[in-house]
Chain A
Amino acid sequence: MEKYVGKDIPRNDGYDKATGRGLFTHDIFLPHMLYAKVLRSPYAHARVVSIDTSEAEKMKGVRAVCTFENTTSKLFNTSATMVTTNPGAEPVRDQTVFTGEPKYIGDEIAAVAADTEKIAEEAVKKIKVEYEELPYVLDPLEAIKDDAPDVQPELAHKKNICGEVIEINFGDVNKGFEDAEVVVDAFVKLPRVKQAQMETHAAVASYKSDGTLEVYSTTQTPHPTKMIIAYTFDLPESKVHVKNPPYVGGGFGVRIGISGKAEMIATALTMRAKRPVKFVYTRAEDFLYSDTRHGGYLKGRLGAKKDGTFVALDTTAWLNTGAYATFGVELLGVCGACGTAGTYHVPNLHYSGYPVYTNQETAGAFRGFGTPQGTFIVETLVDAMAKKLDMDPIELRKMNTMKETDDNWFPFSLGSIGVNECLDKAAAEIGWKEKRGKCKEGKIRRGVGIACGTHVSNAAPFCVDYNAVTLRIEQDGSMVVQSGIPEIGPGSTTALLQVTADEMGIDFDKITMQFGDTKAGPFDIGSHATRTLYTVSQVIDKAAKKLKADIFDYTAELMKMDREGMYMEGGVIISGDKKVALKDLAYEAHLRGKQFIESDSMVPPNSLPWYAQAAEVEVDMETGMVKVLKVAAAHDVGKVVNPRLAEGQIEGGVIQGVGYACREEMTYVDGKGFYNSGFHNYMLPTADDVPEVVSILVESNDPKGIYGIKGIGEVGVCPTAPAIVSAVEDATGIRFHEIPMTPGRVLKAIKEKEQESA
């Protein structure tokens, strides 16, 4: 019986975060520190004809001016993919710290470090730049046409495609469609949306006279960030220290690697000024000049037998990755792998994914990493199939979802699959049987919908993903867990120590974690891909077993206790009728020159977190207003470690999904760039807008996860939008193939339908 796993243990960082005592990068102030501001391109594509920084340099208080002319032009990629691409494949390196050929509105040309932010801002205004405007392209479908302007002429794989076109083939899709008795098609358009994490990108970099570089930053991945900085600035990795201070104000994927470009710009400036430099993105900079979720287009065709058995699925995605790749290639991979090919057993599959360069802000990782986009097209097709076959959408799903024995394309064993239980529980909670498909009339109409899917619990084996921990018993028997993994909000340091406490048999409050720091441990890829709890618990388990064995061997010998059947509980080592407190043993060991330390490293296995969400909506037929009343979110998390934290993850994801479905959208204004410069003009739901969210935790006990754990971090957002779209269809009879379902779009569709039927 576990003492901590499965319990609502209050988070160990809760007081620090709630009272404001916890430190974040924004809170870091170092002696002699300077402040940075950046000069950005006003054009979507241009060439800098001339740049004159002399006026800026003359200003009192200006300590360094960096431009594309005096800063390294080494190509890199801000995303962790730069250092985690599997052997045999080359990562895309297509960015420089500053550029003389800006490729989107906001591209960095130069930066200033000065005694105050105000001086830096004034100095940036004094930099004179003459541009020559160049042709640009904004839409991914336009960009792949032969006559479109080239965004990355030297680096594109083919016409405006970064890296490669992702192809997934399983079975024979053409033959599959020959065998199909019923076929449905769909084409969908999805928006760019923004992570909108609480803490904007920030870094404080300090280059010291001994040649070491210390960087505080908001990164989700200290180790890969260290490697990217060291590579770009030609520094030995041993001399680069990257750390969170220790907290990070959210991430949702936006800083897997470099935080925007904060670490790079602060590093360039500190190396020139030889003083610490702080660079904090304004909210507008964060919105307009750092990765968004990929928007774009997806097309799909699903074939089935008359009884509903799926036989073929063919999907294609053209997603807008913006001016630089960042995670473009990998994301199109996950979109295909988890989003389109993961959920259902379809014997014949094909997927093509086009990561398309355009002259816009970059798109990269955002909670779900391609799975929401892939899930959207597939769930659109499945609902269309249910309609065509006149079957209940849940029955059709349940007969086709992946079963543990099904052939599949995943490069690892499937593990436990709780998706049908999720479908049943979400349906029951929303009142599916009573509400779905009932005749809808009047000005205000209600409907229910559902969607399901899967994702991963880390990135292995699709990319390099491994990690290490060091476990140490202090001389008083308390314990230290060291890992490079960050805590970016979900309560990772709490859940991980719950697992550690149970593994070791040591009380939770006696264990402390060092984290989010390249000096806290050897390589750990970081907090991404729904992996933190799943993978770090794997390596803790591995090291803890060795640590316990060492302690027990030592105890048996020193205390003359029987090694056979020895165990530890509440910090007391027990064997037969003999016991010794770890506190006493550790000190006795210390007096004899012994400390218990174990370190280990591993590539984790992978497990599939399954989910189904059902939504109920209300649609105002006169104004087009869609109101989400309730979302029942059932998630197969394998095993619940901390119910409250797990529910927090689900609720946060669902609310992002509600925004994605109904409100959130980055709107581009030609010649000006994205319109959404902050929370006031980006319709992120507020606390007042949150619908009722019922989280249902399904425990399928995964055979590969420690205690049966699977990941949870990203999946809350994955099925929400298609579930809401399905509910809107139930209410109005209109299927939306474009989100968000803003009142304008919804009303237009209602009027068109009225005209058609008139």
Chain B
Amino acid sequence: MKYIIAESVDDVLKAFSETEGKAMVLAGGTDLVLDAESGKKPSDAWIDIMRIPELREIREEGGKIIIGSAVTLTEIARSELIRKYYPSLAKGAGTVGSLQIRNAATLTGNIISAQPAADAAMALAPLDPEIVVVSAEGEKILNMEEAYAGFGKSAIDSSKELVKEVRIRIPEENEKASFIRLELRKSLSLPMLNAAAMAKVENGVIKYIRINMAPVGVGPKRARAAEEFLTGKELNEANAKEAGQLALKDANPRSNPLRGSKEYREATLPVIVERAVMEVGSQLGLV
């Protein structure tokens, strides 16, 4: 097996063409190495992107925060920029796995491994990120939903596509985001449920709200019915509660022997969504 250390995005593209689709991009490796070992994701070569300077940065540019695809979750959790604008993303990134895993794993990896309830990807989802993908064909931008092809399946083919960065718009004063996790333990465990929200509230009225939740389907699922209900309404406890109930309309949770039965998840999803909405309200000083 070949191990290619790329030093630039061009190196990666070159390696793609040389390996003819038989290599895989390796970032933190916290999933890929295990999957390779168990035979789930065999490949002829790994292209290590962790030493590409431009992918290692978090920076502010043109009203956006740019998070390079080789930035680790620890770096995101500790980034002053992220903590200032999106404390919920710092929280989500700071919850994945354990400290040792977060020191290696990346936000992009959390998206590409495509686990529905991946905490960092969940916290990112309602921020409406632009996922910038480069390949021999050029550059394209995916939104969050476009990045997921199925359960545990990414729309990004890491044998020929490289996520260069994730871009998030810097929020206005009246826009805030939240992340809530219902957990059996604080480390080394996927949550029973998680949810995240971002809203803009003007004169007490919700201009828009995006709510994501998992694991209730493919990827961080949008709670569309709840969003529609809340749009144009006041952000208060009664409405948040109603939205929580409506979240069930877009959710199809399954039973897990460990992380909760379908019944339990259906009973608590409304609570988690309600709390995600209320947390936004609390950050805005409304509730």
Q: What is the interface of chain A, defined by CB distance below 8 A to chain B?
A: 622-625, 663, 667, 669, 675-676, 679-681, 683-689, 742-744, 747-748, 751
Contacts and interface: CB of A to CB of B under 8 A. Distances in A.
Contacts of B185: 663, 683-686, 688-689
Which of A681, A689, A744 counts the most B-chain CB atoms under 10 A from its CB?
Answer: A744
A684 B268 CA distance: 23
Contacts of B283: none
B258 A687 contact: no
Contact of B184 (A663, A667, A748, A751): A663
A251 B260 CA distance: 30
Interface stretch (B51-59, B67-75, B147-155, B186-194): B186-194
Which of B98, B185, B260 counts the most A-chain CB atoms under 10 A from its CB?
Answer: B185
A512 B261 CA distance: 55
Contacts of A687: 187
B267 interface: yes
A667 B186 contact: no
B186 A743 contact: no
Contacts of B257: 667, 669, 675, 681
A230 B192 CA distance: 49
5 contacts: A624-B268, A688-B185, A743-B184, A743-B268, A744-B261
B268 A686 contact: no
Interface of B: 98, 182, 184-189, 192, 257-258, 260-261, 263-264, 267-268, 271-272
B155 to A, nearest CB: 26
Contacts of A685: 185
Contacts of B187: 686-689
A237 to B, nearest CB: 42
Given A686-B188, A689-B186, A743 B258 contact: no
A680 B189 contact: yes
B189 A747 contact: no
A679 B188 contact: yes
Given A743-B192, A747-B264, A688 B258 contact: no
A751 B268 CA distance: 12
A683 B261 contact: no
B260 A683 contact: no
A688 B186 CA distance: 6
Contacts of A625: 182
A133 B169 CA distance: 61
Nearest to A683: B184
A344 B51 CA distance: 66
Given A663-B184, A688-B185, A747-B268, 4 more contacts: A667-B257, A686-B187, A743-B184, A743-B260
B260 to A, nearest CB: 6
A751 B188 contact: no
Nearest to B192: A743
Given A667-B258, A683-B258, A743 B189 contact: no
A743 B264 contact: yes
Contacts of A744: 260-261, 263-264
A435 B267 CA distance: 30
Contacts of A622: 268, 271
- The B interface, classified by DSSP as helix, strand, loop or mixed, is loop
Contacts of B186: 686, 688-689
A675 B258 contact: yes
Nearest to A745: B264
Nearest to B186: A688
Given A667-B258, A681-B258, A686-B98, A747 B188 contact: no
A623 B260 contact: no
B205 to A, nearest CB: 26
B271 A623 contact: yes
A676 B186 CA distance: 18
Contacts of B258: 667, 675-676, 681, 683
Contacts of A667: 257-258
A298 B257 CA distance: 25
Contacts of A675: 257-258
A363 B96 CA distance: 34
A744 B193 CA distance: 12
A362 to B, nearest CB: 21
A86 B262 CA distance: 51
Given A683-B258, A743-B260, A751-B267, A623 B182 contact: yes
Contacts of A743: 182, 184, 192, 260, 264, 268
Which of B184, B261, B263 counts the most A-chain CB atoms under 10 A from its CB?
Answer: B184
B231 to A, nearest CB: 25
Nearest to A751: B267
B268 A623 contact: yes
- The 3 A-B residue pairs with the shortest CB-CB distance in the complex, in nearest-first order: A688-B186, A686-B187, A744-B264
A480 B27 CA distance: 53
A664 B91 CA distance: 26
A578 to B, nearest CB: 61
Nearest to B261: A744
Contacts of A623: 182, 268, 271-272
Contacts of B272: 623
Contacts of A688: 185-187
A685 B189 CA distance: 10
B185 to A, nearest CB: 5
Contacts of B184: 663, 683, 742-743
Nearest to B275: A622
A674 B123 CA distance: 33
A475 B84 CA distance: 69
Contacts of A689: 185-187
Contacts of A663: 184-185
A227 B268 CA distance: 55
Contacts of A684: 185
B73 to A, nearest CB: 15
A663 B260 CA distance: 12
A683 B189 contact: yes
B224 to A, nearest CB: 24
Nearest to A681: B258
A624 B267 CA distance: 10
Contacts of B98: 686
A493 B96 CA distance: 39
A338 B61 CA distance: 68
A429 B146 CA distance: 55
A555 B271 CA distance: 80
A624 B193 CA distance: 13
B20 to A, nearest CB: 28
A667 B259 CA distance: 12
B184 to A, nearest CB: 5
A36 B257 CA distance: 32
Contacts of A679: 188
Contacts of B264: 624, 743-744, 747-748
B188 A680 contact: yes
A285 B268 CA distance: 34
A682 B258 CA distance: 8
A744 B192 CA distance: 10
Contacts of B268: 622-624, 743, 747
Contacts of B189: 680, 683
Contacts of B271: 622-623
Which of B182, B258, B260, B263 counts the most A-chain CB atoms under 10 A from its CB?
Answer: B258
A622 B184 CA distance: 15
Nearest to B182: A623
Nearest to B193: A623
B9 to A, nearest CB: 34
Contacts of B267: 747, 751
B253 to A, nearest CB: 12
A265 B184 CA distance: 37
A445 to B, nearest CB: 15
B190 to A, nearest CB: 9
A667 B255 CA distance: 14
Nearest to A674: B257
A675 B185 CA distance: 18
A747 B271 CA distance: 12
Nearest to B99: A688
A98 B232 CA distance: 70
